[in-house]
Amino acid sequence: MFYLHSLQEEIVVEPRHFGPKLREHVENELRDKVEGKVLGKRGYVVCITQTLETSPGEIQDYTGWALFRVKFQCIIFRPVKGEVLDATTMFVARNALVAKVGPLRLSVPTDSLQQNGWEFDTTDGAWVRRTTGTDDAKITHHTALRLRITGLRYQIRNEEWTVTGVASIAEPHLGVL
Tell me how far apart the alpha carbons of residues 23 and 131 are, in angstroms, rounded to a whole number.
61
Tell me how far apart the alpha carbons of residues 66 and 68 are, in angstroms, rounded to a whole number.
7
pLDDT for 2 equals 92
pLDDT for 135 equals 64
pLDDT for 121 equals 86
pLDDT for 107 equals 93
The pLDDT averaged over each successive group of 10 residues in the chain (177 residues) is: 94 93 94 91 92 93 94 94 94 89 90 83 84 73 93 84 88 85
User: Domain extents for the chain?
Assistant: 2-77, 84-176
pLDDT for 86 equals 94
Name the class of domain 2-77: alpha beta
Say which CATH superfamily domain 84-176 falls into.
Nucleic acid-binding proteins (2.40.50.140)
